[in-house]
Amino acid sequence: MRKFIIIFLLVSFSTAAYGATGAPVTYQIDGQPYEGYYITPFEQAPLVLLVHDWDGLTDYEVIRANMLADLGYAVFALDLFGAGVRPTEVTDKRQHTGELYKNRQKMRALMNGALETAREKGANVENAVAAGYCFGGAAVLEWARSGADLKGFVTFHGGLKTPEGQDYSNARGKFLILHGTADTAIPMEQFADLAVQLEAAGVDHEMTTYGGAQHAFTVFGQERYHETADKKSWRRFVDFLSETLKR
């Protein structure tokens, strides 16, 4: 945890030096309040829509958003659970993610609503990529299957299984899948199956696994954090953004 705090302070200082200013954003979807986080280094910067893990939008996503802003990207870290809903117990995390897995139309509506909120904030939503961690990665793929008109979709150790009755026939943009080979929560069989589906749909995709990396390998300060895999996947992510988004 101490390492996590140190990284947060360093990233915050670096972002401040770049000139970007981030702030919470309260918005409503279907009459319900949500709280995201928006940061931009300059007007009309290329945009990353960041989707949180199963504990909701926390300091972790803020850190990642600030890291991206320091590289010249605007970031809207969206909220899929609701303002103030940041579960800490596993049972609560499963409840909130489970509700959205059972109601995928709502999941899509929440992401589309967040996109519109980013547009209202002045973000360049025509030049955007969606990225997510763990549960957020599964949500990003759900968004992609809906036909979301974004330039790219990125998952870090995200859920990869395609729900029954869905496919990637409506998917647009490019895909980058970053996964841990030692992930027992999302086994390599799902990784391989996704590759087959993307190929069959003619989707432009790149998929990488990192040896020895377990589930949640990018989460600073956690037991399963894998520094090598985190650094390598981040570098590839940054390169993907440079290749995919207009500067």
* DSSP annotation string for the chain: -HHHHHHHHHHHHHHHHHT-EEEEEEEEETTEEEEEEEEESSTT-EEEEEE--TT-S-HHHHHHHHHHHTTT-EEEEE-SS-TT----SHHHHHHHHHHHHH-HHHHHHHHHHHHHHHHHTT-EEEEEEEEEETHHHHHHHHHHHTT---SEEEEES---PPPTT--STT--SEEEEEEETT-SSS-HHHHHHHHHHHHHTT--EEEEEETT--TTTT-TTSTT--HHHHHHHHHHHHHHHHHHS--
- pLDDT number for residue 1: 34
Report pLDDT for 20: 80
Taking the C-alpha atoms of residue 245 and residue 239, their distance in angstroms, rounded to an integer, is 10
pLDDT at 133 over 80: yes
Mean pLDDT of all residues in 86-96: 97
pTM of the model: 0.92
* Residues 21-27, mean pLDDT to the nearest whole number: 95
Residue 98 has pLDDT above 80, yes or no: yes
State residue 6's pLDDT score: 35
14-23, 103-112, 203-212: the lowest-pLDDT one: 14-23
* Residues paired with residue 145 on neighbouring β-strands, in sequence order: none
**Beta carbons within 10 angstroms of residue 35's beta carbon:** 19
Residues 176-207: tens digit of each pLDDT: 999 999 999 999 999 999 999 999 999 999 99
What average pLDDT does the segment 83-94 reach? 97
Amino acid found at 223: E
Q: Which two tokens stand for residue 124?
A: 């360049």
**What is the mean predicted confidence (pLDDT) over 126-152?**
98
From the number of C-beta atoms within 10 Å of its C-beta (0-12, 13-18, 19+), residue 88 rates as exposed
Could you tell me the CA-to-CA distances from 100 to 95, 128, 138, 169, 176 in Å, in that order? 9, 24, 11, 22, 23
| Domains delineated in the chain | 2-244 (3.40.50.1820)
The C-alpha atoms of residue 41 and residue 91 are separated, in whole angstroms, by 38
Q: Are the beta carbons of 141 and 190 closer than 8 angstroms?
A: no
Question: Once rounded to an integer, what is the mean pLDDT over residues 38-50?
Answer: 97
Sheet harboring 174-180: ordered strands across? Answer: 21-29, 32-40, 74-78, 46-51, 124-133, 152-156, 174-180, 205-210
User: What is the C-alpha to C-alpha distance for residues 156 and 81, in angstroms, rounded to an integer?
Assistant: 20
